Amino acid sequence: MRNNSLERAFWAMGNIVVIAYAMVPVIWILSLSLKRSADLNDQRFFPHTISFEHYRTIFADAQFPAALWNSIGIASVSTVFAVILGMFAAYAIVRLQFPGRRLILAGALATAMFPPVAIIGPLFNLWRATGLFDTWAGLILPYMTFTLPLAIWTLAAFFREIPWDLDKAARIDGATPMQAFIKVIAPLAAPGVFTAAILVFIFAWNDFLFAASLTSTNDARTVPAAIAFFTGSSRFELPAGSIAAASVVVTVPVMIVVLIFQRRIVSGLTSGAVKG
Amino acid sequence: MSKRQRSEWRLGWLLCAPAVTALMLITAYPILYAVWLSMFRYDLRFPDERVFIGLDNYLSILTSEVWWRALGNTVIITAGSVSVELLLGFPLALIMHRTLFWRRAVRATTLVPYAIITVVAALAWKFAFDPTTGFVNGLLGLEHAWLTQRWSAFFVIILTEVWKTTPFMALLLLAGLTLIPNDLIQAARVDGANAWQRFTKVIVPVMKPAILVALLFRTLDAFRIFDTVFVQTRGAQDTESISVLGYNTLIVRLNLGLGSAVSVLIFIGVLIIAVVFVKGFGTPLVRRQGD
């Protein structure tokens, strides 16, 4: 009995440490965003008086709403394309026998390890020549491509779990492979597709290197680049409060989605990598 | 070859074609173009003076102190963050695996750092350690400007990386942990192995593939570090990583020739790391990919 309560205390401590570890920086940026400008330098963890002035400031300025719109649009379009292309490829790799499928997987794997900085120079040059520089398409293309391996892996892992006899049954009943894919498999694959979509979206939402290299104005600059290059609207104002408020605005929605779908995200993040 | 088989081949290629085309166009072609550009003296501010110079760019990089310092800094950050992540990842994975209650809540909160934009995490820690806005100095009773000195700046950078990516490491380790049959651990317990012996003699050997995969992923990721360094120091105080060096040469100084050579060298570095892990340590990367 004593041993049992000791063990409970041990795990409770562990749990509290883990939760504190994850939450401290988040609570810190939240409380920074809620401090009054005058209190920003008080070196305290929690705000003395709660104020929403920084939130009003960032939404009154043109820069942040534009960046938010760019981030949402670019990340969503990239996600749709990456998941659709990834779905086709993953289905073919899991279900069909054809020469070259191992090569495609190896290529996708190599791309996952690819350092993005290795191609920003060529892309910068090409995008300026073709007019893609500082446009949505100029970011969607690299995001879509860099997340394709993630999408293919995650989807392939989920597709392997699907009861394929249904697919066979449909094909015996006279459906073509394409019909079997659309009518039978796609609905079963929806959870995997959704997981892949979240992971891809987070990648595009998070990226800074491409956004910093391939955009220059509010036309296509996404939130991470806008925040990193943010300077206060006047020289007398500390941008820390505005940056913190902008950070909270872009963090909260993603965090809610991740917390709701945490189980799927965990299986998606690990499925491509381990499991013998 | 039967007609059925031929149509299967065709469908397979058809379904993979869009993804393969995208990968070719946006990664394979640009890296070849980077190799090509790296053999020119090519500065976008003076585009007319573009001249083929062979391997001269590589020669000037590999003989410059800037490159080796940046590589050294990258190695420091990579080794520092990945080793701490492994050390913290194990207890974190164990807590997620074995905790008696709140398991769902604990697993969910560990995803919080993953869900946060790296730039935001870097800024949060930068503000925390800032001598005017930060709470850390107030807490510790110090007056230290952390990001203005090399080693304390490394400390903040590594701390940020560790905070952000340990959960990912822990999840990969957790996936390995759940594969260990409970009987095995029970048997070791019956044979009189204590907790540490069970960990080093049973758990770690069984988990070796998962550990290697986690290490490979994180090493490659840390080697490419850009966001945190850029946001926290912009490479000042001699903390510049090779990705920041590449960005500065390409996008800030617009030197496409020299910058592309830096890019190609980073690419080669990543290849070397991958080969060492896969061939040297036998990391089972593609074992299940083909089936």
User: Which residues of B fall within a CB distance of 8 Å from A114?
Assistant: 27, 31, 267, 270
| CA dist., res. B68 & res. B52, Å (int) | 25
pLDDT in tens, A74-90: 999 999 999 999 989 99
A142 min Cα distance to partner chain B (Å): 6
Write the secondary structure of A10-21 as one string of H (helix), E (strand) and C (coil).
HHHHHHHHHHHH
Six token digits for residue A46 = 């929690």
Six token digits for residue A100 = 């070259």
Nearest CA to A74 out of A28, A154, A143 is that of: A143
**CB A77, CB A85: distance < 8 Å:** no
What is the complex's ipTM, to 2 decimals?
A: 0.88
CB–CB contact B209 A102 (8 Å): no
Nearest CA to B121 out of B21, B219, B225, B195 is that of: B225
How many of the other CB atoms lie within 10 Å of CB of B198?
A: 18
Minimal-distance CA residue of chain A relative to B102: A15
Task: State the DSSP code for A135.
Answer: S
pLDDT of residue A3: 67
Q: Which residue has the higher pLDDT, B173 or A167?
A: B173
B257 min Cα distance to partner chain A (Å): 9
- Assess whether pLDDT exceeds 60 at residue A146: yes
Q: What are phi and psi of A222, to 5 degrees?
A: -90, 175
pLDDT of residue B290: 36
Task: State the DSSP code for A3.
Answer: H
**CB B147, CB B233: distance < 8 Å:** yes
Residue B15 in any domain: the answer is no
Residue B213 in any domain: the answer is yes
CB–CB contact A115 B266 (8 Å): yes
- What is the DSSP annotation of chain B? --HHHHHHHHHHHHHHHHHHHHHIIIIIHHHHHHHHHTTEE-BTTSGGG-EE-TTHHHHHHHT-HHHHHHHHHHHHHHHHHHHHHHHHHHHHHHHHHH-SS-HHHHHHHHTHHHHS-HHHHHHHHHHHH-TTT-SHHHHHT----GGGSHHHHHHHHHHHHHHHHHHHHHHHHHHHHTTS-HHHHHHHHHTT--HHHIIIIIIHHHHHHHHHHHHHHHHHHHHT--HHHHHHTTTTTTT--HHHHHHIIIIIS-BHHHHHHHHHHHHHHHHHHHHIIIIIS----STTTT-
Nearest CA to B61 out of B269, B263, B267, B220 is that of: B263
Minimal-distance CA residue of chain A relative to B217: A113
Among A152, A270, A271, most B C-beta atoms within 10 A, so best to mutate, is A270
CB–CB contact B101 A8 (8 Å): yes
Smallest Cβ–Cβ distance between B289 and the set A109, A177, A223 belongs to A109
Count up the domains in chain B and report the number: 1
Residue B279 in any domain: the answer is yes
| CA dist., res. A46 & res. A190, Å (int) | 43
Among A8, A18, A168, most B C-beta atoms within 10 A, so best to mutate, is A18
* Domain boundaries, position B211: 38-110+149-290
Residue B7 in any domain: the answer is no
User: Which residues of B fall within a CB distance of 8 Å from A117?
Assistant: 224, 226, 242-243, 246-247, 263, 266
Residue B115 in any domain: the answer is no
Q: Which residue has the tokens 């100095």?
A: B137
Smallest Cβ–Cβ distance between A275 and the set B119, B137, B288 belongs to B288
Smallest Cβ–Cβ distance between B138 and the set A43, A98, A240 belongs to A43
- Assess whether pLDDT exceeds 60 at residue A30: yes
- CA A13 to the chain's CA centroid: 31
pLDDT of residue B266: 93
Chain B contact for A217 (CB, 8 A cutoff): no
- CA B275 to the chain's CA centroid: 15
Residue B77 in any domain: the answer is yes
Chain B contact for A239 (CB, 8 A cutoff): no
Smallest Cβ–Cβ distance between B12 and the set A25, A92, A105 belongs to A92
Six token digits for residue B102 = 């709140």
Q: Which of residues 187-216 of A touch B (CB under 8 A)?
A: 202, 205-206, 208-209, 212-213
Residue B134 in any domain: the answer is no
pLDDT of residue A238: 56
R_g over Cα of chain B: 24
Residue B216 in any domain: the answer is yes
CB–CB contact B172 A250 (8 Å): no
Q: Which residue has the higher pLDDT, A167 or A10?
A: A10
Nearest CA to A205 out of B112, B116, B225, B224 is that of: B116
How many of the other CB atoms lie within 10 Å of CB of A231?
A: 11
User: Which residues of B fall within a CB distance of 8 Å from A8?
Assistant: 100-101
Burial of B247 by CB count in 10 Å (0-12 exposed, 13-18 middle, 19+ buried)? buried
Smallest Cβ–Cβ distance between A18 and the set B37, B95, B284 belongs to B95
User: Which residues of B fall within a CB distance of 8 Å from A18?
Assistant: 92, 95-96, 106, 109-110
Q: Which residue has the higher pLDDT, B47 or A128?
A: A128
**CB A223, CB A206: distance < 8 Å:** no
**CB A124, CB B268: distance < 8 Å:** no
For residue A150, name the pLDDT band (cuts at 50, 70, 90): confident
B147 min Cα distance to partner chain A (Å): 16
- A133 by DSSP, 3-state: which? coil
Average pLDDT over residues A168-186: 80
In angstroms, the Cα distances linking A72 to A167, A195, B41, B91, B190 are 36, 18, 39, 36, 56
Provide the CATH number for the domain around residue B98: 1.10.3720.10
Nearest CA to A186 out of A168, A199, A169, A167 is that of: A167
Six token digits for residue B206 = 């069984």
| CA dist., res. B213 & res. A274, Å (int) | 7
| CA dist., res. B227 & res. B232, Å (int) | 8
The parts of chain B modelled with pLDDT lower than 70 are 1, 285-291
B233 min Cα distance to partner chain A (Å): 12
Lowest mean pLDDT among A107-111, A134-138, B234-238: A107-111
- CA B29 to the chain's CA centroid: 23
Minimal-distance CA residue of chain B relative to A262: B108
Average pLDDT over residues A91-118: 83
Among B16, B142, B164, B233, most A C-beta atoms within 10 A, so best to mutate, is B16
pLDDT of residue B288: 46
Nearest CA to B278 out of B290, B286, B288, B269 is that of: B286
B69 Cβ neighbours under 8 A, 6+ residues apart? B238, B240
- A155 by DSSP, 3-state: which? helix
A245: number of CA atoms within 13 Å, CB side? 26
B212 min Cα distance to partner chain A (Å): 10
